[in-house]
Amino acid sequence: MMKSLISLLCLLLTFGLSVLSHSPPPLSVQNVHSLIPGLSFPDLVKIQSIDEVKKSWMISNDVQFSEGRLILTPTPSISSNANPETLYGSVWSLNKNEKFDKFTAELTMRSTGAFGVTNSGFSLFFIENDGSKNDKHENFGGPLIYKGLQISLDANDLKLGPVLRVYLNDGTKEIQISEDYLGAYTYEYQDSQVPMTLKVAVENNWLKITCDNKLLFESDKINLSPIMKNMKIGLTASAPKDVVTTEQFEILVFKLYNEILHDLKVDPTETLFAKHANMKVNKNEPGLNANKFRNMQSQLRSSLDIKKNNLNTDSSFDALSSKIDQLEALASGPSDSSKQMQVIQKQLFDTTKSIKVLTEKLYSHQLSFLSSYEELSKQNSQLNQKFESILGLVERQNQLLNGYDNRFSALSKYFDTHSENFKNIDNKLKTMEDHYKFNAKGEDSSFKNDMEVNLSKLASGVKLILIPVVLLLVVVTLLVYRLRNDIKHSKVL
């Protein structure tokens, strides 16, 4: 039987991995356009510090950020003293001006560390008042008096075990955690390496809550519209400050959308253990069927014993009795097989969650790759357009350069022609210059001879005129000199 169960497990794993590449992308990826950034966490994997979260959220108490996780109750390195202390972590939204009339909240988280009764708990609030001003921490770090919706996780109920509870409060009284819940759903969330995904959908009077795509709660008589105008969202947790018993609550993703996601519009068929109005509903209880079988078996055996005493000769009763012994052997040992079935069911459940997480990661990576590919395609097309424009400009420049080359070649030919003409003119000018020089030399010699003749004539004429004049001047001078001497002598006398 164990071999068949193990083979069934392997078959389911193979089927899950084969379906992985054909599954539709997760809704959180498909509905990015309806995301409300002011009431959602940033991508915790991509941010470097908790300061990115503090832009839209108020973080208080012992919250830490590490490796893409927001840890509300981090496991301490040492335990507290004799009086055990308590770790508290709370994250509350700051924005109030977001307008929407319906929403879907998606929370991916996990609990690691201690399990069982740990006196720890986690709560998700959708309330009207500001829960960050809470001085009391009895409600897993959140307020006891509020107006709105609370969803909590704790394993402190010995009867129910690990349980998810739903609360509604009108703001007039303190909530009693162990009594005032609308519904309680057993769910093995503790010490699991596979995160759980909780989704809450609200529209008009309709409220629906699912966990890992399993229906937990649905009602058409709960109206949360009045609190949506000033709705505050809070994630709180508390745990003992002890190395051994601390239950570490880690937030991986929190998104809020202004529409109802598609998977919440379809009712899943599988329902977990539920408790509504103090009435337990448990669809899968193998011990009950075994007890009924044993009772029916004992009644059948007593009736057969009576008939066998009356009819000792009938051998068919022996055969029937042996068959019943075989059935009793099978029925007497369901405890071990049921435990094995529970272990295998848990493994199947964890495997299903792992496949789901892998699917979401795969499609998120595919989406990021596609967006990067589209961006690269756009950049490539832009570069191609720029390259084509540059190529056109280069071709135009080549055409212009070819035209300039043609013009330069024409001008070169034109200048060559004129250069030859200039050479011819220069030769002619040189010839004319030589001819002029030659003629100029002959005329200059004749001119010089004429000048010499004329100058000689002029000199002879000047001589003829100047000599008498000079002689006359000498005579006059002598006469004047004698006259002056005579005048001087006359005056003396």
- What's 268's domain CATH number? 2.60.120.200
Q: Indicate whether 188 pLDDT > 60.
A: yes
User: What distance in Å separates the CA atoms of residue 405 and residue 160, rounded to the nearest whole number?
Assistant: 95
User: What distance in Å separates the CA atoms of residue 167 and residue 164, rounded to the nearest whole number?
Assistant: 10
Find which of 241-245, 328-332, 344-348 is predicted with most confidence, using mean pLDDT: 241-245
pLDDT of residue 177: 87
Q: Which of 347, 372, 394 is the last residue of a domain?
A: 347
Query: For residue 299, what are the domain limits?
Result: 285-347
* Domains identified in the chain, total number: 2
The structure tokens listed for 417 are 């022609």
Would residue 413 count as lying in a domain?
Answer: no
Q: Are residues 308 and 257 in the same domain?
A: no
The H-or-E segment that residue 20 falls in is helix 2-20
User: What distance in Å separates the CA atoms of residue 18 and residue 193, rounded to the nearest whole number?
Assistant: 23
User: What distance in Å separates the CA atoms of residue 368 and residue 375, rounded to the nearest whole number?
Assistant: 10
User: What distance in Å separates the CA atoms of residue 270 and residue 289, rounded to the nearest whole number?
Assistant: 20
Distances (CA, A) of 86 to 72, 302, 361: 12, 60, 35
pLDDT digits (tens, 9 = 90+) for 193-248: 788 999 999 998 899 999 888 888 888 888 888 888 888 999 999 998 888 878 88
Q: Indicate whether 95 pLDDT > 90.
A: no
Q: Are residues 189 and 86 in the same domain?
A: yes
Q: 266-292 burial by CB neighbour count: b if 16+ within 10 A, else e?
A: eeeeeebbbbeeeeeeeeeeeeeeeee
pLDDT of residue 275: 43
User: What distance in Å separates the CA atoms of residue 89 and residue 142, rounded to the nearest whole number?
Assistant: 9
Place of tokens 């990115």: 52
Residues 6+ apart with CB under 8 A from 143: 125, 127, 129, 131, 134, 136
User: What distance in Å separates the CA atoms of residue 347 and residue 340, rounded to the nearest whole number?
Assistant: 10
Q: Contact 297/324 with Cβ under 8 angstroms?
A: yes
Average pLDDT value for the chain: 76
Q: Are residues 54 and 141 in the same domain?
A: yes
Rounded to an integer, the average pLDDT of 323-329 is: 53
Q: Are residues 145 and 246 in the same domain?
A: yes
pLDDT digits (tens, 9 = 90+) for 419-446: 888 788 888 888 887 777 776 665 555 6
pLDDT of residue 124: 95
Q: Contact 294/331 with Cβ under 8 angstroms?
A: yes
Would residue 369 count as lying in a domain?
Answer: no
User: What distance in Å separates the CA atoms of residue 338 and residue 335, rounded to the nearest whole number?
Assistant: 5
Give percent above pLDDT 70 in the chain: 70
Would residue 402 count as lying in a domain?
Answer: no
DSSP 3-state percent helix, strand, coil across the chain (nearest 5): 50, 25, 25
pLDDT of residue 440: 64
Range of lowest pLDDT (4-8, 176-180, 277-281, 410-414): 277-281
Q: Are residues 256 and 324 in the same domain?
A: no
Q: Which of 229, 263, 282 is the last residue of a domain?
A: 282
pLDDT digits (tens, 9 = 90+) for 114-145: 888 888 899 999 998 776 676 667 889 899 99
Amino acid at 212: D
pLDDT digits (tens, 9 = 90+) for 20-75: 444 444 444 456 788 888 899 999 988 888 989 999 999 988 899 988 899 998 88
